[in-house]
Amino acid sequence: MAEPRAQRPRIADVAREAGVSKTAVSFAFNSPERLAPDTASRIRNVAEQLGYTPHPVARMLTQRQTMTLGVLTPQALSVIFSNPFFGAFSEGVAVIAEEHGYGLHFISPLHGSLAQAMSRATIDGVVAVGLSAGHPEVEEIRRAGLPIVLVDSTALPEYASVDIDDVGGARAAGEYIASLGHRDVLVLGVEAPAPGGPGQAEVTTRRLRGYRDAFARVGVEIPGERMLAGPASIAGGVALMNRAWEDGLRPTAVLAMSDAMAIGAMHALRDLRVDVPGDVSVVGFDDIDLAPHVDPPLTTVHQPIRRKGEEAARLLLTVVERRDLAKPEHRRLETRLIVRASTGPVPNHRKEVAGDRH
């Protein structure tokens, strides 16, 4: 009396039950016009009552497409999802993917290997975010021969890409801070998730250049020790800010390369009884949805996060749908500074005669 098998029915079962060939069943679903109308509907009835659904993997194999887009990140998904930036970005990708009937598959390093994760994923193309050219596995990844769109890294010019004006955005933030009189700043950068130990993400390099440009104009140099890098999360911001304080750093302004870090930094400062923006000004980067709602409302560099995801998905889909890989498109989105309440003038007692060095 054991259950014979609770297997899902296969196409052959439907064919047998309906007294037709597998081909006919396939036609009933995919090209009903090739069957007599009543045959087609009879087959569909049988299928329905058997609870038959075509096996998606088998279908993919023959059709050579998966109707799925990948989102690849060099970080573990766990760190990625804790940054609101990523949620908004995914939202953008998801909107376009959904519109075109594609599903979404997230790819992160498997047992430390991105290439391995890639080779396991059944996708038609991939949006790679923050994949720097120096990543040890890019070569293996590109060899998969999949359509790729790069986000926030222009380093592989043969692929389409979407990024933002990091330098300009950071420069605007730096100039504003400099104009408030700040000369002693701390930069919080995002760490590259390189498997060979933390390095510096491309994004970090570009934004740092923007900050430095801005301060160079007022004759101030931002020394290397004034930049700390860590994970782009609230916790990361807290940790970095505390470390800086313990190291005796007493900047009048903090330039964070992500809103999450900025929020973390403000939290740490509050715990240290430091007033923001009275004692220390804080600027973020991203302008996440919550930036206006934190306390104090965050001054930050806006980037169109959702649109970034949308553009990336759109670019990818044009490559995926027509197989036309010609001239990869590079799209750069604008940034702009949004001044809110986390920034203010240098406190009087900290006004230095800095800028001129004597």
Say which residues have a Cβ less than 8 Å from residue 66's Cβ, sequence separation at least 6: 60, 122, 123, 124
Burial of 48 (0-12, 13-18, 19+ CB in 10 A): exposed
Asked whether position 57 contacts its own copies by CB under 8 A, the answer is yes
Q: CB of 192: closest distance to its own copies in angstroms?
A: 19
Residue among 23 and 53 whose Cβ is closer to its own copies: 53
The entry of DNA, its own copies, none that residue 122 binds, CB within 5 to 8 Å by partner kind: its own copies
Q: Is the dihedral of CA 25, 28, 30, 33 positive or negative?
A: positive
The entry of DNA, its own copies, none that residue 87 binds, CB within 5 to 8 Å by partner kind: its own copies
Q: Which of 62, 327, 348, 357 binds DNA (CB under 7 A)?
A: 62
Quick check: 191 and 231 in contact, CB under 8 A?
A: yes
Q: What SS3 state is found at 148? A: strand
Q: Which of 247, 271, 275, 295 binds its own copies (CB under 8 A)?
A: 295
- Of 269, 240, 271, whose CA–CA distance to 256 is shortest? 240
Asked whether position 22 contacts DNA by CB under 7 A, the answer is yes
Residue among 48 and 334 whose Cβ is closer to its own copies: 48
Structure tokens at 48: 């329905």
Write the interaction track for its own copies spanning residues 177-206; mark x where CB under 8 A is met and - where it is not: ------------------------------
**Spatial distance between the Cα atoms of 206 and 208, rounded to a whole number of angstroms:** 5
Q: CB of 218: closest distance to DNA in angstroms?
A: 59
Compute φ and ψ for 162, nearest 5 degrees.
Answer: -130, 130
Stretch that binds DNA, among 17-25, 122-130, 303-311, 347-355 (CB under 7 A): 17-25
| Residue count, binding to DNA (CB under 7 A) | 31
Q: Which of 290, 336, 339, 351 binds its own copies (CB under 8 A)?
A: 290
Q: CB of 19: closest distance to DNA in angstroms?
A: 7
**Spatial distance between the Cα atoms of 323 and 316, rounded to a whole number of angstroms:** 11
Stretch that binds its own copies, among 75-83, 151-159, 167-175, 195-203 (CB under 8 A): 75-83
**Spatial distance between the Cα atoms of 267 and 234, rounded to a whole number of angstroms:** 9
Asked whether position 144 contacts its own copies by CB under 8 A, the answer is yes
**Spatial distance between the Cα atoms of 282 and 185, rounded to a whole number of angstroms:** 10
Burial of 106 (0-12, 13-18, 19+ CB in 10 A): middle
Asked whether position 35 contacts DNA by CB under 7 A, the answer is yes
Q: Which of 13, 81, 199, 213 binds its own copies (CB under 8 A)?
A: 81
Q: CB of 137: closest distance to DNA in angstroms?
A: 20
Burial of 346 (0-12, 13-18, 19+ CB in 10 A): buried
Quick check: 315 and 331 in contact, CB under 8 A?
A: yes
Quick check: 228 and 187 in contact, CB under 8 A?
A: yes
Q: CB of 121: closest distance to its own copies in angstroms?
A: 6
Applying CB under 7 A, the residues found at the interface with DNA are 7-8, 10-12, 19-27, 29-31, 34-36, 39-40, 52, 54-55, 58-59, 61-64
Applying CB under 8 A, the residues found at the interface with its own copies are 6, 8, 51, 53-54, 56-58, 60-61, 66-68, 76-78, 81-82, 84, 86-88, 90-91, 94-95, 97-98, 101, 103-108, 110-111, 117, 119-122, 143-145, 234, 263, 266-267, 289-290, 292-297
